[in-house]
Amino acid sequence: MSILKIAIQKSGRLNEESIKLLESCGIKIDNGKDQLKVAVPNFPIELLYLRNSDIPQYLEDGVADVAIVGENLLVEKEKDVAIVQRLGFSKCRVSLAVPKEVLIDDLEYFNNKKIATSYPNTLNAFLKKNNIQSELHVISGSVEIAPNIGLADGICDIVSSGSTLFKNGLRETQLILKSEAVLAKSNNLSEEKNEILERLLFRIRAVLKAKNTKYILMNVPNDRVEEVSRILPVLKSPTILPLAEEGWCSLHSVIDEDTFWDVIDELKIAGAEGILIVPIDKIVL
């Protein structure tokens, strides 16, 4: 029987979010101390705990079949792998930043300047596209300190909240790349492993869909059911149950998280009352 080998970050935030996602998919993970390879008892997968920067290479070589990894790392490493699902967590961006006393936001500031970065390939491609000539200093960590010690005029680094830039007297000026955690796969998967991956993707998508939606229940006059139903197009059709009070029904459906408050306002205008919102664990379509 084939086993799908999944690489995840050995430690850190991406590790925690990856484990949480897999466990939400019903996958039991029992990782003993310092284990780097863990078999899963209730699903045909095996987890490989790897150093984050090594994952793209292992994926391209086929040592790992799939991986949960930051999109920014895949772009930087330029490996021949395919993204099969965006996962919506560990969102960040790769950006250019300058000392806060520099008041110029224009990209031209970096022409003939020194830039410290841990993302030379991503930065080189961006600069070349925009016809900017810069001198790159590749640093493996603590890039933010480079302008303060005179090593560079600016930096290119990963940014989440921007607090680290602020603490080091820097400010963000140019967005190069938006990133999030993705599920990527090797291009050498067998038919059997692709089938296991599809089963896993089915579960992941059910979990992700549930995260972005809410279950909604409300009381609606019978003559307003059609109007209210048009406001809730997430499912094929809402569930409608009669109430004890004549002329009224209980309508059940789901709404998108992003449009939650706008939809609630529309529902109230349409005559809905007693609106109840409930979190959803999973949605299977």
Query: Are both 167 and 267 inside the same structural domain?
Result: no
Query: Are both 84 and 186 inside the same structural domain?
Result: yes
Is position 284 within any domain? no
Spatial neighbors of 254 by CB under 8 A, at least 6 apart, are 213, 214, 215, 216, 232, 234, 235, 280, 283
Q: Residue 93: beta bridge partners?
A: 159, 178
Is position 285 within any domain? no
Is position 262 within any domain? yes
Give pLDDT, residue 200.
Answer: 97
Q: Structural domain of residue 162, as residue ranges?
A: 92-179
Determine the longest span between alpha carbons in the chain, in angstroms.
Answer: 78
Is position 60 within any domain? yes
Query: Are both 227 and 184 inside the same structural domain?
Result: no
What are the two backbone dihedrals, phi and then psi, of residue 43, each rounded to the nearest 5 degrees?
A: -160, 145
Give pLDDT, residue 46.
Answer: 95
- Report whether 100 contacts 170 (CB < 8 A): yes
Give pLDDT, residue 262.
Answer: 84
Query: Are both 162 and 226 inside the same structural domain?
Result: no
Give pLDDT, residue 30.
Answer: 81
Query: Are both 79 and 189 inside the same structural domain?
Result: yes
pLDDT in tens, the chain (285 residues): 799 999 999 988 899 999 999 999 999 988 766 778 999 999 999 999 999 999 999 999 999 999 999 999 999 999 999 999 999 999 999 999 999 999 999 999 999 999 999 999 999 999 999 999 999 999 988 899 999 999 999 999 999 988 999 999 999 999 999 999 999 999 999 999 999 999 999 999 999 988 888 899 999 999 999 999 888 866 677 899 999 999 999 999 988 888 888 888 899 999 999 999 899 888 887
| Three-state SS at 113 | coil
Cα dihedral 52, 54, 83, 49, rounded to 10, equals -60
Which of 179, 202, 229 is the last residue in one of the domains? 179
Question: What is the rounded CA–CA span in Å between residue 83 and residue 135?
Answer: 32
Query: Are both 197 and 231 inside the same structural domain?
Result: no
Which of 179, 199, 225 is the last residue in one of the domains? 179
Query: Are both 192 and 164 inside the same structural domain?
Result: no
Query: Are both 96 and 169 inside the same structural domain?
Result: yes
Query: Are both 77 and 196 inside the same structural domain?
Result: yes
Question: What is the rounded CA–CA span in Å between residue 62 and residue 85?
Answer: 19
Query: Are both 201 and 146 inside the same structural domain?
Result: no
Query: Are both 110 and 243 inside the same structural domain?
Result: no
- Report whether 40 contacts 27 (CB < 8 A): yes
Query: Are both 128 and 116 inside the same structural domain?
Result: yes
List C-alpha distances in Å: 135 to 120, 124, 127, 138.
Answer: 11, 10, 11, 10
Give pLDDT, residue 90.
Answer: 94
CATH code of the domain covering residue 65: 3.40.190.10
Question: What is the rounded CA–CA span in Å between residue 36 and residue 25?
Answer: 21
CATH code of the domain covering residue 234: 3.30.70.120
Give pLDDT, residue 36.
Answer: 87
Question: What is the tally of structural domains in the chain?
Answer: 3
Which of 158, 179, 200 is the last residue in one of the domains? 179
CA 102 to chain centre: 32
